[in-house]
Amino acid sequence: MLAGSLPVRLFGNRTTPLSIRLHAAFAHETTTRSNVNKFTERSHNCGELTQEDIGKRVNLFGWIKFTRFDNKILALRDSYGTIQCVADVKKLPQSYRKTVIHNESVVQISGLVQARPESQRNDEMATGSIEVLIDDIKVLNKASKDIPILTRESDQDHSHVNRLKFRYLDIRGTKMQTALRFRSKVCSILRQKLHELDFVECETPTLFRRTPGGANEFIVPTQMPNMFYGLTQSPQQLKQLLMVGGIDRYFQICRCYRDESGRTDRQPEFTQLDIELSFTNQSLVIGMINQLLYHLLSSSNETGMLNINLSDIFNADQQIDQIDYKEAFMRYGCDKPDTRFGWLINDLEDRKELSIDVPFIIDNGLITKCLEAIQASKKINTTLHSVNHELDTNKTSTRIFIKSQSDLARQVLGQLRLLIASELNSTGHRVYGSEFKFIWVTGFPLFEYNEETHSLQSNHHPFTAPTDETAHLLETDPKQVIGKHYDLVLNGQEVAGGSIRIHDAHLQRYIFKDILKLDDHAFEYFIEAP
């Protein structure tokens, strides 16, 4: 059965976490959320009180942000905002002002909402014109005096050790609260749209048999001697069985596990939106994802979660631009091009060189720094001696060139392009033309040569179908075969990828056994399915 899929990695998982600029309306201190108080003992949350609530008695729960003047003034915060509270010393016990309440202690406060004195109004706070006059306070959970403060904006750069040790405090912070709630909204929007398109949400097992030919899998021992499970690196085989079984439009927000070396764009476990449908082709799958992404981003704009110019991402037909793998490598030196800016690689045929033109004046120190970063990453073996630069005649831009036109030289120049752009942008130069830039990359080789094993391996996975135009090369020159494989790239990071599946049993066996040298018997149950 001809099927196509597209796993979409959700924010902050497999790929390098993206900096999502949220619209002000999504910040916690600016919205009223009536439902969040249902089924709780609180009457209001700390971010929703306004001048209309003056005179009302409220019951609040939250964490102490800070105290002043022997607990006479407290700032109480929860997940939705902050409210100033003032102690009514006439109604509180005499011992109250001597009570030590450390920051981040959990408290319950009851009192009356009143207007702040004009001199104490804070227009930068959503609740800055009011306060709560406390007539009862209970410390529900007392925090230690030595606890670090990780919840203020200025504290977001704390060491990872502290952030992980006191994870609950990190989660209380605005950055983490916003990210987690944004993620929840994204999942909700995607689910709703996919249900509208009659996709069926199905759960698949996490414990499964080993899948040869893919990423390294985590092995899970059992109580039975010499019997093990493998944690699924993706629902690959399972969702294809659903296609064969008649669930022809499937999706799942699933966990995936890969036992890979630590890198900024790889994690041992991550979440992806997994989609598969039957009787389709590459163009239709890409069109469907474009529609889904347009709906997600436009809905996020409408609800105030994001503020993105959609014309920077989609063309007039609400489609995302595409580029062929070969062109991406020739022009950008990689298969994940960052298209927010130009600086394309030029072939200087008369000089047998490659170059990029940077519209800024840069010195040798910056180039050397970036080359050393490339060497330190061990992604590309290169030397400092083959890279040179020169200013243009007007001395307004810099040409960086390499005295070679090899694939390695193209990769080095591609990495330099990215690193120099990042360095210049971080120092205030306007490098990127837009904040978000998507592009589809298609036309990948079906196989790549593994230098360590001296054999071919799947560029995507062993179930990817070859293109009709190059399938005849499988027996004579498999390295020239192009796969029906497509990646979606955002700002130089792969955020989604999929392929059209092989639906011919003879072809699948040939690729397993004769090209990849894998045991096709492990997939017999799957190959034989009509």
Helix or strand run (H / E) with residue 418: helix 407-426
For every residue of 61-86, DSSP letters joined together read: EEEEEEEETTTTEEEEEETTEEEEEE
Band (94; pLDDT cuts 50, 70, 90) = confident
Give the pLDDT confidence score for residue 3 in this predicted structure: 63
pLDDT digits (tens, 9 = 90+) for 225-264: 999 999 998 888 899 889 999 999 999 999 999 998 766 6
353 in Cβ contact with 401 (< 8 Å)? yes
Tell me what the mean pLDDT of segment 20-38 comes to: 54
Q: What is the mean pLDDT of residues 112-116?
A: 96
Strand ranges for 279-397 from DSSP E: 322-324, 346-348, 353-358, 387-391
Q: How far apart are CA 511 and CA 504, in angstroms?
A: 11
Q: Label the pairing between strands 228-231 and 207-208.
A: antiparallel
Residue-wise pLDDT tens digits, 456-472: 999 888 899 999 999 99
What digits encode the pLDDT tens for the residues 491-523?
Answer: 999 999 999 999 999 999 999 999 998 877 777
Q: Distance between CA atoms of 150 and 139, rounded to whole angstroms?
A: 21
The confidence score (pLDDT) of residue 70 equals 84
Q: Is 495 exposed, middle or buried (0-12, 13-18, 19+ CB in 10 A)?
A: buried
pLDDT(156) > 70: no
Give the strand pairing for 438-442 and 485-490: antiparallel
Q: How far is CA 3 from CA 213, 426, 501, 503, in A?
A: 20, 43, 5, 8
Which of the residue ranges 39-43, 131-135, 373-377 would you say has the lowest mean pLDDT? 373-377
pTM of the model: 0.85
Q: What pLDDT digit, counting tens, does each position of 354-386 carry?
A: 999 999 999 888 988 988 888 887 666 655 557
Q: What percent of the chain has pLDDT over 90?
A: 59
R_g of the chain computed on alpha carbons: 28
Range 72-79 average pLDDT? 94
Residue ranges and CATH numbers for the domains of the chain are 51-141 (2.40.50.140), 176-279 (3.30.930.10), 341-432 (3.30.1360.30), 445-482+500-529 (no CATH)
Show the beta-strand stretches assigned E in 207-352. Answer: 207-208, 219-221, 228-231, 249-257, 269-278, 322-324, 346-348
Q: What confidence category does residue 69 fall into, taking pLDDT thresholds of 50, 70 and 90?
A: confident
Per residue in 312-325, pLDDT tens?
899 988 999 999 99
